[in-house]
Amino acid sequence: MPRVLNVEIHATVVLSYPDPPPIEPPPIEPPPIEPPSGVGDKASLLAALANATAGEVVNVAGTAAIDLSGEESIGVPGGVTLKGNGALLYSDVLRTFPLFRTLGPNVRITGLRLRGPDDEKRDSEYAVPNSRAIDIQHAGAEIDHNEIWAWSHAGVYSMTGAGSPHIHNNDLHHIQRYGLGYPVLVDRSTPLVEHNIFDWGRHAIAGTGNPGTGYEFAHNTILPNFYQPPIDMHKDAVSGLAGDWVHIHHNDVQSITNNSQVWIEGVPAKPSTIHDNVFADKVNPIAQRVSGVIYYPPNLVNIDASNNGQ
């Protein structure tokens, strides 16, 4: 029978492993180059707008420069957003009246560069055909973050049916035809016009004075190159009233003309306010003409003008 030996073994065993190799990061590949998104030519743009329905966005490729010469009254359907992503849309035809118009409520036009055919002042209103960029004819419109220039009559026309559109964060310049030249024109509607930059025009904003016409004009910057009062309200030819109302506040008005910087022709139908603006004109930046007599603060009629820095 074999013997069993009981042996105690006292030993220290050291196990040794080689260092693991360093972990190399995966190679970084450049992101794929995305082709410009959105339509990029005239035919595609017109087809996209013709087929768009409420809630849809018609994107124009940011790199696009689309010649729309010969087109006018291009409709943007109700509820549709026309988004430019910095794209240039332009017309070289003097009579483009307008280039775009709303076809229904709640249209938005944003991020476009809209260049018209005529950036000159000229010597007459109508000796040369006129142009406009956008006509707002339906409620709920928003016009924002566009550059709009070289339209002889108006850049944005808020007209009958427009309600109270929102016109904001645009750069409007070189809209300056003699006797016309309205970056923003208002008739029988009451837009909010704010946070825009204006330069090289006749009036940055003007109202026709017709019944139902008014505007809030706030937080805008008006640069020096206007040749008539940049903030204006005409009077109605029948009643003599200066529209319904104006609310003009917190603007930086740098342009100085011979006829003040705010000119109200007539008396607004409702109490109006002009306050907290900064005017470059140190003498009479606000004026109102009533029955041939010119009034200045504090003697304005149905207009409260206060806290305006000079």
Q: Is the pLDDT of residue 54 over 90?
A: yes
> How many Å apart are CA 126 and CA 132, to the nearest integer?
14
Number of domains making up the chain: 1
- Residue 225: both structure tokens together: 């190159």
What pLDDT was estimated at residue 274? 98
DSSP assignment of 230-255 equals SEEE---TTT-B--SEEEEES-EE--
> How many Å apart are CA 6 and CA 294, to the nearest integer?
125
What pLDDT was estimated at residue 2? 44
Residue 7 lies in a domain: no
**What 3-state class would DSSP assign to 260?**
coil
Residue 92 lies in a domain: yes
Residue 121 lies in a domain: yes
Residue 269 lies in a domain: yes
Least confident of 99-108, 175-184, 185-194, 257-266: 257-266
Residue 25 lies in a domain: no
C-beta separation of 125 from 180 below 8 A: yes
What pLDDT was estimated at residue 33? 45
What pLDDT was estimated at residue 7? 37
**Average pLDDT across the chain, whole number:** 91
> How many Å apart are CA 214 and CA 271, to the nearest integer?
11
Q: Is the pLDDT of residue 214 over 50?
A: yes
CATH number of the CATH domain containing 278 = 2.160.20
Q: How many residues are listed for the chain in this entry?
A: 310
Beta-bridge mates of residue 132: 154
Domain that holds residue 224: 42-306
Residue 10 lies in a domain: no
Residue 192 lies in a domain: yes
Question: What is the pLDDT confidence band of residue 262, given thresholds at 50, 70 and 90?
Answer: very high
> How many Å apart are CA 213 and CA 272, to the nearest integer?
12
Residue 211 lies in a domain: yes
